[in-house]
Structure 1
């Protein structure tokens, strides 16, 4: 079995190998990603604490993450991260403050920041749209990168930034860039499993690529559930279930003796 990647491995292989990254929500998805050769996984924090995660994804470089408003201030982030690190987290997504990123890095925790379109902070850049299409916003993305470098982050998710801007930044930063809709100059390409598997019924981002049609399959399975449960309910209501084959029998003399005893007890 291959060894689990380290931060040093990721930094050393920038530009030499294009890494695949997925957001997974279940152990089944994590296991499938491991078997498929997806090296980097974004995971719910609770998954790290589940011992089964490393049984199904032993070599994945795992980033637990949550939005900053779900965790709190700098002290809260540290209290959140330490147990996860102890249980095998490899890096931490952090959309919190530079102060928080700096504090985590000073404790030796590998931190991945976020630049470009940051969904939890989208109001500052105009909502769910590309960031970096103008000189002003391209400069903003670069300043975000520089600030993360100075704070001690080792990586940054760069989201929905024009590919040429990402390329120019990649040539000038030491960060490991995780591209979500920001082009091939990123050192890893990141998508959500819901989009890859075609189980997202809402808006599908422009940068997403769909490889399967789980939504149709889930509809088929749901129809089968309804059919099976309807038949069960009809059997119960009509007296067809349970039938003799579903019952546990007992000897007639045991039943008779038990009834006699009950009559005396009553």
Structure 2
């Protein structure tokens, strides 16, 4: 498998931060979305571990790819990420496919174990969906105390060797401070213009999301009606196929493979002999 060795690596991404280059980042869920992002020149992709396949790596092309390590259960009910060894095993399997870094919001000791094994790790600062019960769906860091907690969290991650962090729904001036005072690559989602990369979900960018669009999201297309039209056309085609089968209209003579009478008669005679 071609692992696209000409794609950026961690040192290249860090160099872009040092040069003040603003990066673009998209969450993608299908090979088609990944290929479109690569063709458009998107710098960084975020992909869930359960969706990470050789086909996705090929579709992502020269994009730098962050692959998510989930908390707890994976797609297989019998497989769970609980211990550092579980996370390491999963990360190395994903690295073999060509993951460039790993999103992980497990405990510091698990994150450190990944870092100690020379894996590039991305943590999370601010509104962390995995821990939403502690904050609710709101901006985090608007008070002095909360902002200091975010700063302490950033420094702790930096100390254990974490490469970057998703910076989600925090005040823009806090994002600016963090970006200027830490070596972490900050992938901003609702964090204003000062994060090192601007991160959005494909469904929001393309306008076909079914969930409530967050305040920080921006749509650059309106694919929703077109996808709905395609879905309705798909349903109509499936319904017509079923009705054709019900009415014995399919398969017709032109859909079948003929056999000469002489050959068929000889077959029957031999089979029943």
Rounded to whole Å, the distance in 1 between the matches of 2:238 and 2:96 is 44
Q: Does structure 1 retain, via aligned residues, the 8 Å contact 2:69–2:91?
A: no
Q: Any unmatched runs of 5+ in structure 2?
A: 74-80
Match of 2:117 in 1: 107
Match of 2:164 in 1: 155
Report whether the alignment pairs 1:3 with 2:6: yes
Match of 2:65 in 1: 62
Rounded to whole Å, the distance in 2 between the matches of 1:181 and 1:2 is 32
Deviation at 1:51, TM superposition (A): 2.6
Report whether the alignment pairs 1:12 with 2:25: no
Deviation at 1:57, TM superposition (A): 2.2
Rounded to whole Å, the distance in 1 between the matches of 2:56 and 2:245 is 40
Match of 2:87 in 1: 77
- Residues 148-187 of structure 1: matches in 2 within 5 Å? 148-187=157-196
Give the one of 33, 48, 53 matched to 1:29. Answer: 33
TM-score for the superposition, normalised by structure 1: 0.92
- Residues 1-266 of structure 1: matches in 2 within 5 Å? 3-14=6-17, 16-48=20-52, 50-70=53-73, 71-125=81-135, 127-262=136-271, 264-265=272-273
Rounded to whole Å, the distance in 1 between the matches of 2:57 and 2:116 is 27
Deviating runs (4+, > 6 A) in structure 1? none
CA RMSD of aligned residues (A): 1.9
TM-score for the superposition, normalised by structure 2: 0.89
Q: Deviations over 1:74-117 (max 9, x none)?
A: 22111111222233211111101111111111111111110100
Greater shift in the superposed pair: 163-172 or 183-192: 163-172
Deviation at 1:2, TM superposition (A): 9.2
Rounded to whole Å, the distance in 2 between the matches of 1:237 and 1:53 is 39
Q: Any unmatched runs of 5+ in structure 1?
A: none
Rate the CA distance shift 1:247–1:40 in 2: closer, same or farther, 3 A. Answer: same
